[in-house]
Amino acid sequence: MKSLREPEAAPQAAPARILVVEDDPLIRFAIAEALRDLGASVVEAATADEAWQYLTGGEPVDVIFTDYRMPGSMTGAELAVRVRRQFPALEVVVTSGGFEPCEWTEPIKKKPYSLAKTANDLMQLALATKQKG
């Protein structure tokens, strides 16, 4: 008699991986939860230093969403510039309620932002980055 086998499940695509860098825990929690609700795998960092340590540890990330002003040895914009230099394929979005001129020349997402729209935009960016890579 022939044995029956369960059909093999199709491999699931890995979720989009987004690193949220924000020193305000309420804002960080809100955007992280909105992203998780959309199916993203989210890593949270309270400082740019913490985020940089995570990135240089070799952990995979598709998009970084970072606040500009944070405590620590570097701002979110400085983190973004470092990421561009060392990980040029990685997408970075900087957000700020008040912005000062710096090396970061790309657009800044102004605070306050729409949580749902921002989460959706970040998710779409992360999925597009995954398809490229």
- Each residue's pLDDT tens digit, 65-118: 999 988 899 999 899 999 999 999 899 999 988 766 666 778 889 999 999 999
Architecture of the structural domain at 17-132: 3-Layer(aba) Sandwich (3.40)
Q: What is the dihedral of CA 50, 52, 58, 59, to 10 degrees?
A: 50
Q: Which pLDDT value is given to residue 95?
A: 93
Tell me the domain boundaries of the chain. 17-132
Q: In this structure, what are the phi and psi dihedrals at residue 49, rounded to the nearest 5 degrees? A: -60, -45
Rounded CA gap, 81 and 74, in Å? Answer: 11
Q: Is the pLDDT score of 5 beyond 80?
A: no
Q: Which pLDDT value is given to residue 13?
A: 67
Q: Which pLDDT value is given to residue 3?
A: 47
Task: Map tokens 């955007």 to a residue.
Answer: 31
pLDDT bucket at 16, cuts 50 / 70 / 90: very high
When pLDDT is averaged across residues 27-45 and rounded to a whole number, the result is 97
| Structure token digits, residue 73 | 């040895």
Q: Which pLDDT value is given to residue 100?
A: 66
In Å, what is the CA distance from 85 to each residue of 56, 80, 104? 13, 9, 12
pTM, entire model: 0.87
